[in-house]
Amino acid sequence: MTLLNSETNGPTNEQEDSVQDGFKPGAGTVVVTGAASGIGRAIARRLSLAGAPRTVLLDRDGAGAARAAEAIGPHARAMGVDVRDPAAIEAAVTRIEEEDGPISLWCSNAGVHRGQGLGNASDWDASLAVNLHAHLHSARAVLPRMARRGTGHFVITASAAGLLTDPRCAPYSVSKHAAVALAEWLAIAHGDDGVTVACLCPEGVRTAMTAADSAVLGAEVLEPEAVAGSLLEGLAEGRFLILPHTRTAEYERRRAADRDRWIAGMRRARRRAASAAPLYAAG
């Protein structure tokens, strides 16, 4: 059951007044998970350059996060944290707020891409643990604190695959769809608390995760720095859905308008892709 009525068709004056102010980098401590490399490292660097007084980089690869923080400068520091562990996330949040001050922005960015086709049990476990449950652990640790203060910003890095699909990998596509749904639920639940929630959904980005897919991604691949720039622009404007690739919005509209036509088109695209994965993987 959904709670849909005439109010969902467009914002009333009251709803317009409830839109939160955009994020200001100088407002307080910012935290980025999955920050040792790729999009996370770029986001942390961009936030620091934009004036964040303290930037904390979290990653399971603590040494990699430390190198990234050192490259950013003296206002950045690193912590080795496994985002799959809710106790570790809670401990990190407590330590950061005690040592660096209230968290004004939390970017839940860590992600993985595992398996081909339907994948196997370990592919699903890994994908859900990082691409969904890690965001939930962060939300549970961070959002109540922000809500009590009446201010804060929380970002989930999902993927365009979470709005559309990745026909090569079910664990990735399904877990990213779940991440988008979680972000939307959090935005609805916490908007009246003074907390904004945003969902970052890029298509192809030049990172270690996509290195093997460079031929498929082609000219539409973005650098992590461009994605970080799009994120800051979206946060400043108070947008929920942040799409670094401008075509993603049109694709999503086409999918919603005619799902059967969209599925047929994706089947054609899958057949054309030289790296199309088998539907069923061993294991």
Task: Answer whether 58's CB lies under 8 Å from 79's CB.
Answer: yes
The Cα–Cα gap between 231 and 43 comes to 8
**Catalytic residue check, 251:** no
The Cα–Cα gap between 194 and 27 comes to 14
Catalytic residue among 29, 36, 172, 174: 172
Q: Which residues pair with 197 in a beta bridge?
A: 154
The number of C-alpha atoms within 13 Å of 98 and in the hemisphere containing its C-beta is 6
The Cα–Cα gap between 231 and 45 comes to 12
- Cite the beta strand spans of the chain per DSSP E: 29-33, 55-59, 76-80, 103-108, 152-157, 195-200, 241-242
Task: Answer whether 83's CB lies under 8 Å from 134's CB.
Answer: yes
Catalytic residues: 172
